[in-house]
Structures are given as structure tokens and as C-alpha cells.
Amino acid sequence: EIGVPLDGFSLSSLMSFPSTTEQITALWKRIEPELNTDLNPAAYRSIITAYGRVGDASSASVVFEEMVRVCGNRGRSIECWNVLLGALAYRRDGEDGSEMLDVENAAASQMVKLTTGDSTYVNSDGTSNHKIAASDNFTTDNFISLLHRKTFTEASIVILETMRNGTSIQLGTKLMQPPKPNSQTYCLVATTIANSLK
């Protein structure tokens, strides 16, 4: 204990260590209550990158949606969208490019209440101050529905087309306007496509 309060940058630095989805989620949920402030987009981007690095683009997509809800306009930058595309572009040994996103299951396993923005979580063993009940409005929004059951390549193309067309996406009661793609966006989608052909 050196008396330095944890912040989003502390979390960002620590996200390079976990090597599994479970470790990432455990570290995030362990540190988040101790933060002296809400997570910022940089911290969320590091979590998305960590999930992508271990091949869990589904969880990365769920974190992206939470980031947009919590950070508002600051979480809607081109950098944020490109980090999600980067998570889809990661390819691990033995993957053949036909993996499908299971975003709804990832959300359920993280116990994120997508429709309310509530950041109360239930541990995998079921212990918590709040238990998700059938009466809780646990449904997914348009963004998650766009990606659910798509291959990484299909999801990347859907995201790119959404950005190119400026299609608004429903998040709770608000519409989110995506940024226009930049050159990095196209490179990330091309990487995802190339990885699917290997």
C-alpha cells in the first residue's frame, strides 16, 4: 500500500497481464470497485484489446457497448471503433476464421445489464449483492444483435458498413451515430478478411 489511488490508467496498465477471458474479467471486476473514478475510454479500450488478444471478440463487443453507454460521446470516437475492429482481427493459432460471435452469451456470462447500464455484476459462483432475475430486463440492443452469430469477418464488414453509411444504432433509449471510417478502419477489416482466408 503506497497510498496512490487506482484510476483507469492503472487498469489499462494491468490489462496486459491476463492470458484468458476469465483472468481479464476477474481482474477488471476486482479493480473496478477500488477505482477513484469511472472508467474512461482509454481504460475500456485496454479491456477490449485484452479480450481480443485472447481471442474473445464476443466479450470485447460487450465491453464496447458498455463503454459507449458509460462514456457517452467520449466512447464513440473512431479510436474506440477501431479497437473493436482490432479485437475482431486477432487470430489465434488453430482458428480457421469460421468462429462465430456469441455476444449474447458473453453478456450473460459477464452479467452485464445491457438495457439499464447498471454495472452490478454476479460472480460465476452466483454470489453478489444483486442477482440477475428473470424480471430484470436483460435483452440486447440493436448493436449486439448486429454482431451476434456472425463470423469475425462478417461482424467486421457489418461494422464497416454501419460506419460508412452513418447508420444510427439503438442503445437503450438513445441513438448512437458512428464515426466515419478512416484508413486504419479499412486496414483492420482487411486484416480480418485476410485472416479468415488462411
What does the pLDDT look like over 93-130, one tens digit per residue?
A: 556 567 889 888 887 776 544 333 444 433 333 333 33
The predicted model scores a pTM of 0.81
pLDDT at 117: 40
Mean pLDDT of the chain: 80
Q: Which of 195, 194, 191, 198 is nearest to 82 (CA)?
A: 191
Rounded mean pLDDT of 72-79? Answer: 88
Grid cell at residue 14? 494491468
Q: What distance in Å separates the CA atoms of residue 157 and residue 159, rounded to the nearest whole number?
A: 5
Q: Which residue has the higher pLDDT, 190 or 108?
A: 190
**What is the residue-wise DSSP string for 54-102?**
TT-HHHHHHHHHHHHHHHGGGGGSHHHHHHHHHHHH---TT--S--B--
Q: Is the pLDDT of residue 174 over 80?
A: no
